[in-house]
Amino acid sequence: MAGSGSTVVFRTQSAIEANVVTGLLKTRGISAVITYGAPQAIFPLTVSSMGEVYVTVWSEEADQASQLIGEFSDEVSARLISIPDEFSSVEKALGYRFSDHGLLEHALTHRSRAHEDASGGVDDNESLEFLGDAVLGFVISDRLFHECPDWDEGQKSKARSLLVSTSALAAVGEQLGLGEHLLLGRGEEKTGGRQKRSLIADTFEAVVAAIYLDGGIEAADRFIEVCFRDRLEAVRSGGLSSGLTEDHKSALQEWLQAHGKGLPRYELVGTTGPPHSRMFQSKVWANEKSLGSGEGRTKKESEQQAAEAALQALVLR
């Protein structure tokens, strides 16, 4: 649409605000597109901000669009959350203050919330999730490359897969309290969306992307460093029990599936001790190969220990 036949009718520093305006115009039959004042940086180059965002319409509809935008001003303001007040606790937990608070709103917006917006001007966080996955993978790979120089490519790849697994990212997101601040649709809210680990993991990736877009790769790198330092140390030392993941069974299943090794199978191989102090021993298998064994006061605990042993062997061998 950009060119002599088009006119810019709205300028903002917030992509979220531009999306809201575009959606509202479309509800009145006016076709509008969003353009940016400067090309976006190509990862992993540094970016300082998203730059100015423009809403453009056909020139013959420009007057009508401008008039509608003026009429929409109160509605636009109502649709845009007061981020500094409502999400100040999120920024505090993240240890990062956004220049463009719309990016934080975008990162926290689940598709169920976007689908409930009649204007179509609210975007979900799935595109940010895609970018965040790449940024996170790059930073973790960089850390492993520099901090584990004696590991071969296979060991580094295995460690990265474990560090950025859904279970690991969900654990980080839960520590940050992301579930409390998600923007969910009514249906997702009622079905316990704030506690869904996969949803929290996806949102964490979206937050990484939002920080990258807002402050550049240096800001994203610092954020990831704070979130993952203990887990990186756990991988380096081989002590996965020191905090890499609490749900070892889920992490093991994800790792095995990611590497085409099938699903884990747990077997109770023995019990010891009197009835009031029973200890259970379990083994975990995949493709008829024993991966690890563990012991605990319950069958579930022994399986978690077996999964942890298997993860340690797979990542560090």
How many separate helices (H) and strands (E) can be counted in the chain? 14, 6
Q: Within a domain: residue 116? A: no
Q: Do 230 and 256 have their domain in common?
A: no
Instruction: Note the residue count of the chain.
Output: 317
Please indicate, yes or no, if residue 11 is contained in any of the structural domains: yes
User: What per-residue confidence (pLDDT) applies to 114?
Assistant: 80
Q: Are strands 279-286 and 289-296 parallel, antiparallel or unpaired?
A: antiparallel
Decide if 95 is inside a domain.
Answer: no
| 290 and 210 together in one domain | no
DSSP state of 121: -
CATH of the domain at 176: 1.10.1520.10
**Angle at CA 82, nearest 5°, toward 81 and 88?**
115
What 3-state DSSP class applies to 152? coil
Last residue of one domain, picked from the residues 242, 259, 279: 242
201 and 291 housed in the same domain: no
303 phi and psi angles, rounded to 5 deg: -70, -40
Give the helix/strand (H/E) hosting 8: strand 6-12
CATH of the domain at 60: 3.30.70.790
241 contacts 308 by C-beta, under 8 angstroms: yes
| CA atoms of 57 and 215, how far apart (whole Å) | 30
Q: Is the pTM of this model over 0.75?
A: no
Q: Are residues 226 and 261 in the same domain?
A: no
What angle, rounded to 10 degrees, do the helices at 101-108 and 197-237 form? 100
| Residue 180 is assigned to a structural domain of this protein | yes
Which of 191, 210, 242 marks a domain boundary? 242
pLDDT along the chain (317 residues), means of 10: 74 75 85 69 40 84 89 63 64 92 90 75 86 95 93 87 84 91 89 87 95 94 95 74 62 85 93 83 93 90 89 70
Structure confidence at residue 83 (pLDDT): 44
Asked if the structure places residue 101 within a domain, the reply is no
In a domain, residue 276? The reply is: yes
Could you list the active site residues?
133, 205
Query: Nearest CA to 250 among 155, 168, 164, 132?
Result: 168
Please tell me the distance from the alpha carbon of residue 313 to that of residue 185, in angstroms, as a whole number. 42
Tell me the two tokens of residue 195: 């506690």
Please tell me whether residues 51 and 14 are part of one structural domain.
yes
275 domain residue, yes or no: yes
State how far the Cα of 313 lies from the Cα of 317, in Å rounded to an integer: 5
Helix (H, G, I), strand (E, B) or coil at 167: helix
Number of domains in the chain: 3
* Cis preceding-peptide flag for 264 (omega within 30 of 0): no
Same domain for 233 and 198, yes or no, is yes
Q: At which of 225, 242, 259 does a domain end?
A: 242
Q: Is residue 119 part of a domain?
A: no
In this structure, the answer to whether residues 220 and 312 fall within a common structural domain is: no
If asked whether residues 226 and 181 sit together in one domain, one would say yes
Regarding whether 169 and 140 lie in a shared domain, the answer is yes
Residue 146's domain comprises 127-242
Specify the amino acid at residue 123: D
Within this chain, do residues 177 and 73 fall inside the same structural domain, yes or no? no
Q: Is the same domain home to 263 and 215?
A: no
Q: Are 113 and 185 in contact (CB under 8 A)?
A: yes
d(CA 203, CA 88): 17
pLDDT at 72: 75
* Token couple for 292: 């690890």
Q: Which two tokens mark 220?
A: 């994203």
- Per-residue confidence (pLDDT) for residue 16, from 0 to 100: 65
* CATH number (domain holding residue 281): 3.30.160.20
pLDDT at 315: 65
Sequence letter at residue 58: W
Residue 197 shares a structural domain with residue 143 = yes
Q: How far apart are CA 229 and CA 204, in angstroms?
A: 16
